[in-house]
Amino acid sequence: MLEHTGNDAGNPTRDKLLSAIDRKIDRHRFQEHHWDGSFWEYLDIVQEKPGVVRNAFQRIYDMILSYGWEKYRRFRNDVYRYHFFSDPIDGGADAIFGLDQPLMELVDVFRSAAEGYGTEKRILLLHGPVGSSKSTIARLIKKGLEAYSRTDDGALYTFSWLLDENAGPTNKTIEHPCPMHEEPMRLIPVEARGDILVTVNEHYRPAHGNMRIRVEGDLCPFCRKVMHDLMVHYEGDWKRVMDHVKIRRAILSEKDRVGIGTFQPKDEKNQDSTELTGDINYRKIALYGSDSDPRAFNFDGELNIANRGLCEFIEVLKLDVAFLYDLLGASQEHMIKPKKFAQTHIDEVILGHTNEPEYKRLQNNELMEAFRDRTIKIDVPYNTRLDDEVRIYEKDFGSERVANLHIAPHTLEVAAMWVVLTRLAEPKKAGLTLVQKMKLYNGKAIPGFTEDSVRELMEEEACEGMTGISPRYVQDKISNALVSHQAIEEGGINPFMVMNELEDGLTHHSLLTDDEQKKRYKELLTVVKDEYEDIIKGEVQRAISADEDAIKRLCANYIESVRAYTQKEKVVNRYTGKEEEPDDRLMRSIEEKIDIPEARKDDFRQEIMNYIGALSLDDKKFEYNTNARLYKALELKLFEDSRDTIKLKNLVSSVVDDETQQKIDVVKQRMIKNFGYNDRSATDVLNYVASIFARGDAKSD
């Protein structure tokens, strides 16, 4: 074993390493986390910072809000986005996207419980399909509690007994920590707590909400036994008993089994309720003479060690019925029943999660009526908003994570588009397609639909997002595409490679047994392919028409003709010098690109002139891209003219003349610069769009 003796001045490498380690270790913070003192010192801390006595619900609520939040409007509803769920602790490693509404409902439950309105007596049940972030939410809260308990605002304390079992209670030599990390204020006799809490609450200024400090319940059996023995020894002198108490800072930690517990169902034959409430320590029975002596009992069940924090129940409805009975008292009365001991008070949040089949089984089980009555169900659906789903895959497959391979633009978007479509119900409104519905949910404006009508669409399909394909399936298929031989040979992946993986995997999807459903999902891939074609045609169009000088000239010619037309004047031909009628053919070729009918051309042209006049009054200059609608029309017109010049269709043939190739190379460079393609993917897209034009089925938009 190597020892650091200090005689290493001649080893600069070791000095450098040790210096780097020292810089990362905050000894002052370590000492703060391991503070200890007397009960009387703790009372001073409580008087100065009453928040140290908060219960588990209050602490979690304050922890979430300590990271801040923002309020925004979505379809005329106020929605709060809590920054905590973006995982600022680990730089977004467990960030949750698109579930602002369910998370807002969860935080509202925490607030209600923190203020003592009754929800603190309930089991919180996260309910949703597989892969909808239920476990991630639980993991985030546990991670947040650990980090919060290390801060000054989140500090909490527990205590140990200082005893000597051999020399009697007056000899303070052996430290016996409270096995359930209880709040030291419980050491105050119940009859005296009321007056103490009045004083504490007079000084308490909650950071959020209208919380009041409450200290409920009695000590755990072990501490109750020690307290009783000491009170007997000191003939009821409570102050002298408190001299045997050492208060210490508690740092919540799942790994150290302090304040955070996790219970996972096992085989029914091996399940034992002692895993929740602790078990007898048979080795100590001989020492203390009874199996009902609390000193011969291990208070190390998940509900015991989770006291002061949170206990997560993974797939809670898979638990044996006997386990669920334990949860009834733990939630409603905040009591658990260890073997051979009286009911023991706990202060913790019980958070379970389950999926739809298990929840339906619960609903159909009449014996579980009491359990259903004690749960608050919070639905955690899949994303139905495209942008949020894209962010999930960007987190896993962004440029930082996949540095050696190029992911062509829209590859992740196409995968997200398909998976969101699988979660949406077919629209009941005539004339509305599923893709349009997806775009409406994503915030895109479509003529004929207001925010109110979109909200009605959402409300009529309340179960949307509770079925469909899991993000995990898509992540697996993107991973397959990234490690395929084709990806390695070509240096990257494109949307078609991912779509092929998605389609191939449906045949053997473990959760899909309905052939009709598989057929529908495959048809949705065709829908997504059509949508992708429209996207890349639009990009090629913009790349071709991105000649700023050309679009400026086209705009100037159009505005000159419109001015002359609206003022009933003639235009001077720049080449012949003669006056001519405004070029109606040019104006109509541009206006038709944005569906301005012949009957409305006069109104549109007058609108343009009024718009230019209004800008002039504000000392603003009209540019080719100032009016979005006109700019789109100019782009489409320039694209149509340039397309014929570039002869894009020739790309699918083996012969391309030098002049055309130069123009195509310019377009390719624009796609690389403006849209994020590399040389290979830009060439592939140009070839694919060229083949579409060669088929003669290109759309104007």
Q: What does the pLDDT read at residue 473? A: 94
- Tokens of residue 59, six digits: 């602490």
With 90 as the cut, is the pLDDT of residue 455 above it?
no
Band (pLDDT 50/70/90 cuts) for residue 9 is low
Element (DSSP H or E) covering residue 198: helix 190-203
- Asked if residues 319 and 292 have their Cβ atoms less than 8 Å apart, the reply is no
Choice among 10-19, 157-166, 230-239 with the minimum mean pLDDT: 10-19
480 or 665: which leads in pLDDT = 480
The torsion angles phi and psi of 97, rounded to 5 degrees, stand at -115, 135
What residue has token string 């489409």?
Answer: 636
Q: Which of 59-63, 290-294, 607-611, 654-658 has the highest mean pLDDT?
A: 59-63
Choice among 79-88, 384-393, 688-697 with the minimum mean pLDDT: 688-697
| pLDDT tens-digit map of 399-444 | 777 878 999 999 999 999 999 999 999 988 888 899 999 999 998 8
Q: Which of 362, 477, 464 is nearest to 416 (CA)?
A: 477
CA distance 370 to 71: 37
Catalogue the E-assigned strands of 355-468.
375-379, 406-407
CA atoms within 13 A on the CB side of 500: 11
CA distance 526 to 426: 16
Indicate the average pLDDT of the chain. 87
What residue has token string 């290390």?
Answer: 150
Identify the burial level of 356 via C-beta atoms within 10 angstroms of its C-beta, where 0-12 means exposed, 13-18 middle and 19 or more buried: middle
Options 3.30.559.10, 3.90.1150.10, 3.40.50.300, 3.30.56.10; CATH for 29-381 is: 3.40.50.300
Band (pLDDT 50/70/90 cuts) for residue 82 is very high
Q: How far is CA 201 from the centre of its chain?
A: 35
With 80 as the cut, is the pLDDT of residue 188 above it?
yes
- Asked if residues 154 and 59 have their Cβ atoms less than 8 Å apart, the reply is yes
Q: What does the pLDDT read at residue 695? A: 65
CA distance 302 to 300: 6
| pLDDT tens-digit map of 661-671 | 777 788 888 88
- Asked if residues 85 and 137 have their Cβ atoms less than 8 Å apart, the reply is yes
Q: What does the pLDDT read at residue 1? A: 40
What residue has token string 């490693």?
Answer: 93
| pLDDT tens-digit map of 112-150 | 999 999 999 999 999 999 989 999 999 999 999 999 999
The torsion angles phi and psi of 521, rounded to 5 degrees, stand at -65, -35
| pLDDT tens-digit map of 280-290 | 888 888 888 88
With 50 as the cut, is the pLDDT of residue 2 above it?
no
Band (pLDDT 50/70/90 cuts) for residue 378 is very high
Q: Which residues of 145-178 are buried (b: 16+ CB within 10 A; e: fewer)?
A: bbbbbbeeebbbbbbbbbbeeeeebeeeeeebbb
Q: Give the count of beta carbons closer than 10 Å to the beta carbon of residue 407.
A: 25
For the chain, percent helix, then strand, then coil, each to nearest 5? 55, 10, 35
Q: What does the pLDDT read at residue 638? A: 78
Predicted structure pTM score:
0.84
Q: For residue 352, what is the DSSP state?
A: E
Q: What does the pLDDT read at residue 185? A: 96
Q: What does the pLDDT read at residue 115? A: 94
Enumerate the CATH 3.40.50.300 domain ranges in the chain, comma separated.
29-381
Q: What does the pLDDT read at residue 437? A: 92
The one-letter code for the residue type at 460 is E
- Tokens of residue 480, six digits: 């397959």
| pLDDT tens-digit map of 581-626 | 888 888 888 888 888 888 888 888 888 888 888 888 888 888 877 8
Three-state helix/strand/coil letters over 653-685 = CCCCCHHHHHHHHHHHHHHHHHHCCCHHHHHHH
| pLDDT tens-digit map of 309-353 | 999 999 888 877 777 778 888 999 999 999 888 899 999 999 999
With 50 as the cut, is the pLDDT of residue 176 above it?
yes
